[in-house]
Amino acid sequence: MGERFYHTLWWILLASFVAILAYLSILNPTKFVELSLYGLVLGSIYALVALGFALIYKSTSILNLAQGEFLMVGAYICLSLILQFQIHFVWAFLITLLFSIFLGLAVERLVLRPLIGEPIISVIMVTIALSSILKGMVIMFWGNDIRPFPKDIPFLAGKPFSVFGVSMAPIYIWSFGLAILFLLLFAIFFKLSRTGIAMRATASNQQVSQSMGISVKKVFAISWCVAAVVSSVGGIILGYISGVGITLSFFGLKVFPAVILGGLDSILGAIIGGVTIGLLENYSGGYLDHIIPAVKEVFPFVVLVIILFIKPYGLFGKEEIERV
C-alpha cells in the first residue's frame, strides 16, 4: 500500500512539474527558452562531473568527497600554464588532462589502495581529508583570490551567437559541445572497449570479475583517472565562465544532488541528474529569485529531499534489499 501511494505521488509531482513548465513557457516564451538553454549548458557540466562521482562509487563503492577539489585543481593548473608559461589554451587544456590522469593515479595508489578492506567510513573520512589537503595546497601556491581566464582566446571570445532567438556567448556553445563530446567518448569507451567492459563487470561483481582474470586494482585506478579528468574539464569550463578560485571546489557539493537524484550507482542517472539539477537551478533563479533571494542555491537540494522521500535510491539507482 505504501509503495503504491509513493508511486502515485511521484507521477502526480512529475505531471505537476511538467504543467508548471508548460505554463511558464506560454507566459513568456523568450525567457523560458533562455533559461532552458543556459540551464542545459550548466547541466551538461554538472553531468560531466557527476559522471566521475558515479563511476568511482559504482566501481569501488567509495563516495569521493574530494571531487570538487579535483575540479578546482584542474582549473588552476590550466590557468597557470596559460598565464605563467604562455602556453596556448588548447595545449594547456591537454596538459591539464594529462596531469589529471597522474593525479588520479597518485590518489588511488598512495591514498586509497592501502585502505582496501577497511571500513567504508574510514575511506570516506580519507576523501574528506584529501579535499582539505588539496584546498590547502591551492591556497598555498595560488592564494584565494579569484583569477579570470584570458578573454582573448580566439575561438572562445568573439561575437555572441543567436540560438533560438537567444544571444549566447561562444564560451557557452563550446562548453556545451565539449561536455557532450566527453560524455559521448566515455559512453563509447564503457560500451565498446575491453577496459570499459572490465569496468562494468567489476562494478557488477568484484569477486566474480577477479576470478575471471580482471585486475580489479587496475579498474579502480582507471576509475579515479577518469573522475579526475572529467572534473578538470568541468573546472576549466566553469573557471573560464566565472573565474578560477577556491569557490570552484563547492561545485562538487552542488553536483552531489545530481548524483543522488540519478542514483549513486547509475552512470545514465548521473547524466540525467546533472542536466535536471542544472535546469532546476536556472528555472528557480529566473522565476523565484526576486521573491526568495539566492533560491537557486537551495532549490535543487529541496527537490533532492522530495525525490528521496519517494525514491530513496534515486531515479535510476539499484534497490538493495537486506534480509535479516
Q: Give the pLDDT confidence score for residue 77 in this predicted structure.
A: 94
Arithmetic mean of pLDDT, 96-124: 84
Q: What is the 3-state secondary structure (H, E, C) of 33-58?
A: HHHHHHHHHHHHHHHHHHHHHHHHHH
> Measured in whole angstroms, how far is the alpha carbon of residue 164 from the centre of its chain?
27
Arithmetic mean of pLDDT, 207-230: 81
**pLDDT above 60: residue 237:** yes
CATH fold of the domain at 24-310: ABC transporter involved in vitamin B12 uptake, BtuC (1.10.3470)
Average of per-residue pLDDT values in the chain = 81
Q: Which residue from 192, 194, 238, 246 is spatially nearest to 215, judged by alpha carbons?
A: 194
Model confidence pLDDT, tens digit, residues 135-193: 999 999 898 888 888 877 766 666 777 777 788 888 888 888 888 888 888 878 777 77
Q: Where are the domains of the chain?
A: 24-310
298 vs 43: CA distance, rounded Å: 16
**pLDDT above 90: residue 91:** yes
Q: Give the pLDDT confidence score for residue 6 in this predicted structure.
A: 63
Residue 150 is given by DSSP the state: P
Model confidence pLDDT, tens digit, residues 6-50: 667 767 777 887 788 787 788 888 888 888 888 888 888 888 888
pTM score: 0.86
Q: What's the Cα-to-Cα distance from 40 to each of 37, 212, 238, 280, rounded to whole Å?
A: 5, 41, 14, 10
Q: Which percentage of the chain shows pLDDT scores above 70?
A: 90
**pLDDT above 70: residue 205:** no
**pLDDT above 70: residue 317:** no
Handedness of CA 171, 176, 181, 186 (dihedral sign): positive
